[in-house]
Structure 1
Amino acid sequence: MNRRAAVRNLLYIAGGALVLPACFRKSGKASIELANLAISEDDERLLAELTETLIPATDTPGGKELLLHLFVLKMVDDCHSPKDQQQFAKGLSAFSAWSEKELDGEFAAANTDSRVKLLDKIGKSDNEELKKFFSITKRRAIQGYMNSRYVMTNLVKYELVPGRYNGFAPA
């Protein structure tokens, strides 16, 4: 074996050994930088599962594939009042604890039917933080879906202004 090839292979192995642990380590931080919200990696994962339950993947992409959870976080961080942001953060932690209690396990581990039944129970709940959190999340997830690139390019038929002339339109 050539000495240069052996040294090169040794450097590849050493570099891989240094980089590999960083690939599997949990950072604990959200993948998006937020100015006003403090969201952990687990909270982000829970929100991704929630948006996937709200907008499931069928023949169209779902909430996870369209990254709607990041849209929800960014919109809450940028466009909502500090009071709403605080209620959202409290509601997220309340939803996490409530869903674990109701499902006897994590929300992400539950099947789709039990997730949908759980989300139906939120309207009947007495917890106002939970209702506010779900309301904001649902509204922003739908807004993100309707404004996503997929919907705007594949589902919405766009006509340039002024559009077609329709002589039979009622006056």
Structure 2
Amino acid sequence: MKRRDALRNLALITGGLVLVPSCDFSKEDILSAYKNLDITPSLKQLLAEITDTIIPSGNLKGAADLEVHDFILVMVNDCIDDDGQKAFMKGLQGFEAFSKKTAGNAFSKLSSSEKEKLILDGLASEAEDQKDTKTFLGMSKRFTVQGFMMSEYIQTEVKPYSLIPGDYQGEVLIADLKTGKING
């Protein structure tokens, strides 16, 4: 009885392996974690480059190192209304075209100063055809700063968080207080 089950399972697996080469994997997959957004891996990578331009790494980790782009996608997916999500997606999908039109090259091929100038130009744009790009960049900038400041790295290593009112100290001279802790 068990031999029949084993042979049947082997036949099913073999048939499945025969059909795999006929499947079309050429289309870029849409990430399923974001139900309301049609995010592909290339768009996610572009958003990571944009966040790294907004907060680059230096003495501290940058936004891309802390994966702030995932925070942005979650916030847009869960907290923004449908019109805002559509504007965000149109801006993200049209950002490469905006980059080629404004800077003359793809965003990933620009130098860091050119990337900064491009983002500032997009935020300051008053053109009607750039409305979605401006909305996208505004949301990206706001959520990048928010996600960066709320990250575990900032809250534990850079600015250690302490609960209010903090630990009790009866008599302390003001000169002895350390300013490394922030409350709230």
CA distance change for structure 1 residues 55 and 37 in 2, over 3 Å: closer, same or farther? same
Identity, in percent, stands at: 32
- Residue 157 of structure 1 corresponds to 160
Q: Distance in 1 between matches of 2:105 and 2:77?
A: 29
- Residue 134 of structure 2 corresponds to 131
Give the number of the structure with larger relative contact order, counting CA–CA contacts within 8 Å between residues 6 or more apart: 1
Structural RMSD (CA): 2.1
Report the residue type matching 2:150 in the other structure: N
TM-score by length of 1: 0.76
Q: Hey, which bits of structure 1, 4+ residues long, moved more than 4 A? A: 164-168
Residue segments in structure 1 that go unaligned for 5+ positions in a row: 1-24
- Residue 12 of structure 1 corresponds to none
Q: Distance in 1 between matches of 2:93 and 2:52?
A: 18
CA distance change for structure 1 residues 105 and 83 in 2, over 3 Å: closer, same or farther? same
CA distance change for structure 1 residues 159 and 124 in 2, over 3 Å: closer, same or farther? same
TM-score by length of 2: 0.71
Deviates more, 1:123-132 or 1:36-45: 123-132
CA distance change for structure 1 residues 36 and 29 in 2, over 3 Å: closer, same or farther? same
1:105 equivalent to 2:105? Answer yes
Residue segments in structure 2 that go unaligned for 5+ positions in a row: 1-24, 175-184
Other structure's SS at 2:48 match: helix
Q: Distance in 1 between matches of 2:60 and 2:29?
A: 30
Number of matched pairs: 144
**Is the 1:30–1:44 Cα contact (8 Å) retained in structure 2?**
no
